[in-house]
Structure 1
Amino acid sequence: MSPPKQESYLLLQAAADSPTVVQVFFDTGSGFSEQVSVKQQLRGGFQSQSIRYSLPSTRVRKLRVDFEGKGNQVNIEHLALVDTKDEVVVIEPDKLKELRDINLLTVDSKGSALVTWQQPDPQVLVNVNRSLLSSIAVSPGLVFALVFMMYPLVVFQSRFSWNLANMRGQREVILSARPTLWKLWAHCVCIVLAIVIWCCAGLYCWLEVVGKKSLIGDQGNQVIQAYKKDFDRQALSFQRKDGLKISARVYRAKDTKGKIPALLLLHGNYPAGQMFPLYQVMAQEMALKGYLVMTIDFAGYGHSEDPFAGEVARRVDLEVETRAAITYLADLPLVKSDQIGVIGHSMGADPALRVGMESDQVSTVVLVGPPRRVWERFHYPPDRDFFWHWAHHIGQQQYGRATFPDWYTKEVWLESILARDMVHMRPKLRSWHHKPVLFIDGQREPAADKNFLRCYAKESSFPKKYKTLYKADHNCNVSARNGQILYNPSTMEQLTTLVDNWYVETVTGKPRWSDYLRNILDWLFGMTRFTTC
């Protein structure tokens, strides 16, 4: 009896608001067909359920997920392709493309996605643009140890062959095979070295994986660890000029004394605001490097008040609370008021750049994964609708507000987004005198975004610097699972060291004579004046 044949499959973990039939179609090169499809049912009541769909024997190029039911909401918690060796390729929610009036909303940091629809026969189309082959990381130390282990075996085999041939009277035939140059003590030394190396490698693996309770990330090649550092943070609040209350927190190492430099960390477009895992880890790590770090919740995020609570129009460009936060931070008795830097991540990079360039209290600016290709994205209907529905979702999750007030229309929202596009800051950054700016992105971010930021930084004059974090995603490899913060220590060390070195280098906020010289040389011999993003 032959063993059962293993197969590749699509693993879907989801929950629906009512009983929903989920049918998956596969495209192997000739389009979607009924012959290459699987249909199963999800229970209602938002009960999480795992469904396995067998894949065709040929390589799948695209897959389509159809939903049929009386409800109109499905929460996709996990979607992955698994091969015969149980090697997983996770399909991230932001890779799902909208089709037929579907709104795809990322709802939490665990990577789940909320799919809602208004029209019948909703579908989600997924492009499978990578194979199911996994890469194997080879440690040089293990290879070295393997060589040492193989050597004694080869030598002993040679001795055995020589002795066997000698007993058969064929000594003259394999005389050259006798290891006359090696003594027994040399063999013993090699064996001992191999055992020591293997023991050290095993201990290292235990300390990295078991001792630190590490986990393998979804992409299979990043090690993430549970962040368990005990740290004190102080919650506080301040008011904008219009009286809106803004929530904030201050991080400071326990052993610091006297006045210290300060950093204002601005969050991205996440409902949790400053409590999103990335900002908690980064604030604590920078505080351990000797900074007083202040994080805030923008109006409409986290624990700050809702700017859309009344019918009176308020400013929602994020700059009002950023200026108020800088003023509040500079007035703290523990802060060196002439040594304040602003760090903005994702959405927070816009006010960090605009306010940081204008404020006399800011010495340096750091932009981590700023919004790029804004004009292109927000003139593409699926992307524009996605962010508009995401804005609605944030208000509903934070304040139970289903809609915006009448004065905040989709046109007003779009106009404010386009007005904050970083392309409008090009003239300022091309001038020969501006605040130092550090541009940072991740190696695993989209190639078009990285190319845009690299080009943007190249066009800017000194003092500026552009760096890419090795094997990092948009959130710097920080995530959360089951309420526990997970992070990549190597990536976080890259990020915090880069920011720390840049801060020390540019703390005065004034260009040095070498910056003027580099600007002149760059204009004379560089190609930046001919480059367009």
Structure 2
Amino acid sequence: MSVNVRSVAFFSGDGVRVAGDLYMNGEPDGRLKAPAIVLCQGLSGEKHKVLPDVASSFAAAGYVTLAFDYCGCGESQDRRARPYVFPSERVEDALSAIAYVAQLPFVDSGRIGLYSISYGGPVAIHAAAYDRRVRCLAVVSGPGDGPAFLASLMDPREWELLREEIEADRSKRAVTGKSALVPLTHIIRFPDSFWARYRRLGSADESESLPEAAGHAPVPMLSLESADAMMRSLPGSVMSLVAPRPILFVHGEEDDVAKPALARELFDRAAEPKQFVALPGFDHIGLDTGEGLKQQVALAQQWFDRHLKG
């Protein structure tokens, strides 16, 4: 049976329209309700990056699978002028995605899982904490709390300067209502090893790490207001609310973007049942493509089979 992909749309908070792709193993059988998995994308926010391979694998295994563009990304509508990354609003989009899937007549609303990759990890953790219909989740290459993640990629002086810029921009916004745009790399200081690997990719769609550069900008831009919002992403603070839902962490041992130590801090706060799998020889992009992608998807599928089907 071939995987069937259907374009869908639903509404998130503030009535903004979210574009999604629904993956199914053939046409749905009205007599049997299938388990479902909602995919939470990484920083790029766009469903065409990496997620098609993930969704196709899950669908072939019998899961109704939803990939979607966060608001402000891809084909979804905007809450403000692009570009922006507001993790709390992405959580709202994920909660709406769960609600959309749960009401489909061919989905078993009691068997819904969340899969997340990279910066989608905090989104999935927050969504699971708030929505009891989530039965289990898999977090792949996820970072920790916002301040710890950003600080881990720069030296202490750079971190202090960025915090001062964010605070000054917040004061400016209080008067003017506008935020300064800066290169994304000014906020997230990807290491040289990341760029070396990124340049070897055949296509930017093989990595979920970077959003598209808007207009004629040479690099992706982001507002300091977004950086301020990223600082308030604190998945560690809601880990206790995820319990007792099973949670799987999968991480490349050599990931120098989302550091394994930060993921382990979240794992340590999680309650049983839980599992942490460190894949040797893989960095951040390594789990987006090729053998690393196959391994992390297989691990996630085994987790869902155990806790959604078993």
TM-score (norm 2): 0.71
Q: Which structure has more strand as a fraction of its residues?
A: 1
Amino acid at match of 2:37: L
Q: What SS does the corresponding residue of 1:242 show, helix, strand or coil?
A: helix
Q: Distance in 2 between matches of 1:323 and 1:333?
A: 18
Q: Distance in 2 between matches of 1:239 and 1:461?
A: 32
> Is 1:283 aligned to residue 55 of structure 2?
yes
Task: Evaluate the alpha carbon distance shift between residue 415 and residue 508 of structure 1 in structure 2; reply closer, same or farther with a 3 A threshold.
Answer: farther
Structure 1 residues 376-525: aligned runs within 5 Å:
376-379=148-151, 380=154, 387=184, 394=211, 397=214, 410=224, 412-428=225-241, 433-446=243-256, 449-478=259-288, 487-488=289-290, 490-507=291-308
Structure 1 residues 280-359: aligned runs within 5 Å:
280-309=52-81, 317-359=89-131
Q: Distance in 1 between matches of 2:100 and 2:258?
A: 37
Amino acid at match of 2:41: H
Q: What SS does the corresponding residue of 1:363 show, helix, strand or coil?
A: strand
Give the Å deviation of 1:337. 0.9
Higher-Rg structure is: 1
TM-score (norm 1): 0.43
Equivalenced residue count is 258
Give the Å deviation of 1:425. 2.8
Q: Distance in 1 between matches of 2:34 and 2:147?
A: 40
2:35 to 261, 265, 288: 261
Task: Evaluate the alpha carbon distance shift between residue 424 and residue 494 of structure 1 in structure 2; reply closer, same or farther with a 3 A threshold.
Answer: same
Maintained 8 Å contact 1:373/1:449: no
Q: Distance in 1 between matches of 2:185 and 2:292?
A: 32
Q: Distance in 2 between matches of 1:243 and 1:264?
A: 20
Amino acid at match of 2:121: A
> Is 1:371 aligned to residue 118 of structure 2?
no
Amino acid at match of 1:289: A
Task: Evaluate the alpha carbon distance shift between residue 415 and residue 378 of structure 1 in structure 2; reply closer, same or farther with a 3 A threshold.
Answer: same
Q: What SS does the corresponding residue of 2:301 show, helix, strand or coil?
A: helix
Give the Å deviation of 1:469. 2.8
Q: What SS does the corresponding residue of 2:47 show, helix, strand or coil?
A: helix
Q: Distance in 2 between matches of 1:359 and 1:387?
A: 31
In structure 1, the partner of 2:10 is 238
Maintained 8 Å contact 1:375/1:418: yes
Amino acid at match of 2:300: V
In structure 2, the partner of 1:23 is none
Give the Å deviation of 1:382. 5.4
Amino acid at match of 2:135: S
Q: What SS does the corresponding residue of 1:473 show, helix, strand or coil?
A: coil
Amino acid at match of 2:22: V
Give the Å deviation of 1:315. 8.9
Maintained 8 Å contact 2:40/2:67: yes
Q: What SS does the corresponding residue of 2:115 show, helix, strand or coil?
A: strand
Task: Evaluate the alpha carbon distance shift between residue 390 and residue 332 of structure 1 in structure 2; reply closer, same or farther with a 3 A threshold.
Answer: farther
- Partner deviation per Cα, 1:155-191 (whole Å, 9 max, x = no partner): xxxxxxxxxxxxxxxxxxxxxxxxxxxxxxxxxxxxx
Maintained 8 Å contact 1:346/1:370: yes
Maintained 8 Å contact 1:267/1:274: yes
Is 420-429 or 243-252 further displaced after alignment?
A: 420-429
- Partner deviation per Cα, 1:36-67 (whole Å, 9 max, x = no partner): xxxxxxxxxxxxxxxxxxxxxxxxxxxxxxxx
Q: What SS does the corresponding residue of 2:308 show, helix, strand or coil?
A: coil
- Specify every segment of 5 or more residues in structure 2 that has no aligned partner in the other structure, as ranges: 163-181, 189-209
Q: Distance in 1 between matches of 2:308 and 2:216?
A: 39
Maintained 8 Å contact 2:211/2:220: no
Q: Distance in 1 between matches of 2:3 and 2:305?
A: 24
Q: Distance in 2 between matches of 1:359 and 1:367?
A: 16
Maintained 8 Å contact 2:112/2:134: yes
Q: Distance in 2 between matches of 1:417 and 1:351?
A: 11
Q: What SS does the corresponding residue of 1:234 show, helix, strand or coil?
A: strand
Q: Distance in 2 between matches of 1:347 and 1:468?
A: 18
Q: Distance in 2 between matches of 1:439 and 1:327?
A: 24
- Partner deviation per Cα, 1:357-380 (whole Å, 9 max, x = no partner): 221211111111112363245354
Task: Evaluate the alpha carbon distance shift between residue 448 and residue 409 of structure 1 in structure 2; reply closer, same or farther with a 3 A threshold.
Answer: closer
Structure 1 residues 196-275: aligned runs within 5 Å:
231-254=3-26, 257=29, 258-270=32-44, 273-275=46-48
Q: Distance in 2 between matches of 1:508 and 1:435?
A: 14
Task: Evaluate the alpha carbon distance shift between residue 382 and residue 317 of structure 1 in structure 2; reply closer, same or farther with a 3 A threshold.
Answer: farther
Task: Evaluate the alpha carbon distance shift between residue 376 and residue 360 of structure 1 in structure 2; reply closer, same or farther with a 3 A threshold.
Answer: closer
Task: Evaluate the alpha carbon distance shift between residue 369 and residue 477 of structure 1 in structure 2; reply closer, same or farther with a 3 A threshold.
Answer: closer
Task: Evaluate the alpha carbon distance shift between residue 334 and residue 473 of structure 1 in structure 2; reply closer, same or farther with a 3 A threshold.
Answer: farther
> Is 1:360 aligned to residue 132 of structure 2?
yes
Amino acid at match of 1:264: V
Q: Distance in 1 between matches of 2:216 and 2:98?
A: 26
Maintained 8 Å contact 2:149/2:262: no
Task: Evaluate the alpha carbon distance shift between residue 448 and residue 266 of structure 1 in structure 2; reply closer, same or farther with a 3 A threshold.
Answer: closer
Give the Å deviation of 1:246. 0.7
Q: Distance in 1 between matches of 2:3 and 2:71?
A: 26
Q: Distance in 2 between matches of 1:390 and 1:315?
A: 15
